[in-house]
Amino acid sequence: MSDKVTFRVFRGEPDADGDPFGRMVDYEVKLDEGMVVLDVIHRIQAEEAPDLSCRWNCKAGKCGSCSAEVNGKPRLMCMTRMEDILEETPENEPVLVKPMQAFPLTKDLVTDTSWAYRTDKMIEPINGPEEPDWEFHQEEADRLQEFRSCIECMLCVNTCHVLREHQMYEEFAGPRFFVRLASLEMHPLDTENRVPEIKDDFGIGYCNITRCCTEVCPAGIQITDNAIIPLKERVVTEYYDPILNPIKAALNITSGVVSGVFQPFTDKFQPPGSDPGNLKKAQSAIELERSRAEEAKKVDSTRTDSARRRFRTERKNRGPKRR
């Protein structure tokens, strides 16, 4: 292993509009055998930048505090070995360390995750009989145990495009909270029914099962397969199953909103590719999405330009930077 490494770390704070304002700063650090990314950050704090902010607690992958983006990938800094990082970083390139991009910046590598606490409070807690007459089987405990291993690192939330790209923080609970909802809904003693909220308030329909959240979960929770898909199935059973719920299905048919397995038997069903109307709709949706992306790009580059200008003025006023 090389005995030195260059870390390019984000340094900055939010500007008056709350947008991240700062720059990437290079630090050359001596490496010791067995170091993890968090060790390198601590060495930078100890030797070069005592004002570099980063959040951590356990240094054992248990508290979920040290989440950041290392080389563009959401990870726990305390569980990311330098050996692996050096292997994936191109030669003579620095290791990039940035804060989680889906949350508002507090300072440097620290982000404000209070949205998570607000969302958590919206979930109806467990509600069961005072004196349960129930034999709890091991299989029931095992099923919940996977969800209970969540360390609330928010790496899954940081990765989910519904939140990160589309900013649907008010409409969508995000993968971490579908895990929590699943742990409550699958609890054998719980008597609450949260399916209406899962559909309407927590917006499970926005999840298109890309599995990106599952890929980054350091606890190895199968978020999509074991939490989100079963919750989606409950919503479908409750609202759209024409066999279990024939009255609702019939109402849907008479009101023209045809869904589920009855759809192919109605004259409103058009096999893919056969309806030019559908094609037109899809094309105009793509056009709309393209023009939104163009608009977002413009806003982004204007913001970057004004941040650069501000930074240059600040630097001029401040004089040479201390390191």
The residue from 68, 155, 181, 231 that contacts ligand SF4 (CB under 6 A) is: 155
DSSP 3-state of 23: strand
Distances (CA, A) of 14 to 103, 110, 175, 299, 320: 12, 11, 26, 17, 22
Nearer to ligand FES, 52 or 204 (CB): 52
Contact between 208 and ligand SF4 by CB under 6 A: the answer reads yes
Structure-token match 């929590």, residue found = 180
The residue from 105, 110, 162, 249 that contacts ligand SF4 (CB under 6 A) is: 162
Shortest distance, CB of residue 114 to ligand FES, whole angstroms? 19
Distances (CA, A) of 142 to 2, 136, 187: 43, 11, 11
∠ CA 182-186-187, rounded to 5°: 115
Q: Which two tokens stand for residue 274?
A: 């056969």
The residue from 22, 64, 174, 242 that contacts ligand FES (CB under 6 A) is: 64
Residue 176: contacted member of ligand FES, ligand SF4, none (CB under 5 to 8 Å, by partner type) = ligand SF4
The residue from 98, 176, 232, 234 that contacts ligand SF4 (CB under 6 A) is: 176
The residue from 46, 58, 209, 299 that contacts ligand FES (CB under 6 A) is: 58
Structure-token match 């309407």, residue found = 200
**Strand pairing category for 4-14 and 20-30:** antiparallel
Contact between 153 and ligand SF4 by CB under 6 A: the answer reads yes
The residue from 81, 137, 166, 211 that contacts ligand SF4 (CB under 6 A) is: 211
Lay out the site mask for ligand FES across 65-104 (x = CB under 6 A, - = otherwise): xx---------x-x--------------------------
The residue from 54, 102, 154, 231 that contacts ligand SF4 (CB under 6 A) is: 154
176 with 149: CB under 8 angstroms?
A: no
Nearer to ligand SF4, 29 or 66 (CB): 66
∠ CA 123-129-130, rounded to 5°: 110
Q: Which sign, positive or negative, has the C-alpha torsion 138, 143, 148, 150?
A: positive
Residue 172: contacted member of ligand SF4, ligand FES, none (CB under 5 to 8 Å, by partner type) = none
Q: How far apart are the first and last CA of the chain?
A: 27
Residue 6: contacted member of ligand FES, ligand SF4, none (CB under 5 to 8 Å, by partner type) = none
Residue 249: contacted member of ligand FES, ligand SF4, none (CB under 5 to 8 Å, by partner type) = none
| Residue 301: CB atoms within 10 Å | 10
